[in-house]
Structure 1
Amino acid sequence: MTTQNKTAVVTGASAGLGTAYAQRLADRGYDLILVARNAARLETLASDIRSRTGRAVDVVTADLTDAAQLSVVEERLRTDESIAVLINNAGGALLTPLTASDPAAYEALINLNVTALTRLTIAVLPGLTARGHGTIVNISSAMALNSLPISAVYSGTKSYVLTFTQALQQELAESPVTVQAVLPGAVRTELWDGSGVDLEALPDESIMSVDDAVDAALAGLDAGELVTIPSLPEISDWESFEKARQTLLPNLSLRVPADRYRG
């Protein structure tokens, strides 16, 4: 597919995975709309990409946890007919026990990881469908599959991203729009700053570089993977996991309780 006059939107573009996605998509010929809170970093990134690739780059400074600022981004997604790709990368992490947590901080995390991602997806979908092409990439996390005592809300939000994406894939099965969920493990980014966990406390062999994570995610997208787990050696392990889940489905809603619950 030609990328001429096609635009990719990257949220959380000012650092980490978002910056790497912006660079890679510019290399693939996309113009860019970069969204994040840090205007100075966005402008620096945009200038670098323009000079290196010649692509057009727009900067939208927005805090996606703020309803008014989120609505500005939604309106751009609804009305810009050049948009072909949305990378829902913006997200945060809080890894602390709930018994010692600030509920307002967790509300903001849910607003960013769940509400903003959902609203942006809803905003972009009609245009992509009408134009007959498009890609949405939702950044989940390996923590969607692995809950810890300190990850109740974070794992919950990332599980939402995974199941939201899987349901949307079913909805769009006959559509020209592609939707991918990406489940990275620990990646060396600023996400960890203020998360409650020191990245350096993790084993070095468990931490992936930003470039490797994004390159793997894009390779998975190119290969047609609906769910990409960058560090998983055998895709058959994920397929087995999904097959096991599917075997539950016929018995999840029946007229009578299971025998073990009846006296």
Structure 2
Amino acid sequence: MSTTTAALDLPDVRLHYELRGEGPLLVLIGAPMDADAFAPFAVELATDHTVLTSDPRGAKRSILHDRSRGSSPQQRADDLAALISHVDRGPAVVFGSSGGAVTSLALVQSHGDLASTVIAHEPPLLELLPDRVEQRRLTDELTAAALSGDRVGAWRLFFAQANIPMPEEMLVQWFGGEVDPQHQEDEQFWFQHELPASVRWEPDVGTLRARADDLVLGIGEESVDQLCERTTTALGAQLGIEPTRFPGDHTGFVDHPAEFSARLREVLAH
């Protein structure tokens, strides 16, 4: 399947994006996940959709001209709105995962006419939790570790906060060696700007409740007792939406693209 790769220049960022397939527009977004992480999932869905993927601002090929401007959910929603308008095939079905799920909810609030349906998969909205103060402390602690240069320590704290078991030998293997300079810069940007802005974003419950018929809140079947199961369930309670289960865990669409795309089609059909 052919992929069209292009860039959209906005005043503060050059956004890398990719298009696959033909049909109704379906957008797949993450934060910090880039377009490459979504590629196998996008191929599965492009048999009957035009699938748009992109790198979020400040990550990989989406060049943020002044990185001190950061990456808030609202900024990323504005970027996404510009992309949807640019490809001129909307309104779109939007699937957002993790920080991208927060982006998708911000899009509903500020550019709701561009999204017909939004599937927010495991948005890490920590401010909705009763232990939000402790969660802020944990986020600050792991951010400080990352910015001090303790990469393994930062990721150890991250997985502990997320309640995702991660063996020490795997942490050292994945995060203890040499790292590509671009990846290191993007990761530091995520820890410093994108992560705290995403987990501390507070949704406008009234606006989202008014679009409840167009919203799906997704949780992985294997995400039981993880932090994002708690946050997604808390959001569902406020919006009166029963979360929908999808294959795998927080990254089920990466690990099981065929099964996940089949489940997504079932959900969209209903």
TM range (shorter): 0.3 to 0.5
Using the size of structure 1 for normalisation, the TM-score is 0.38
When Rg is computed on C-alpha atoms for both structures, the one with the higher figure is 1
Using the size of structure 2 for normalisation, the TM-score is 0.37
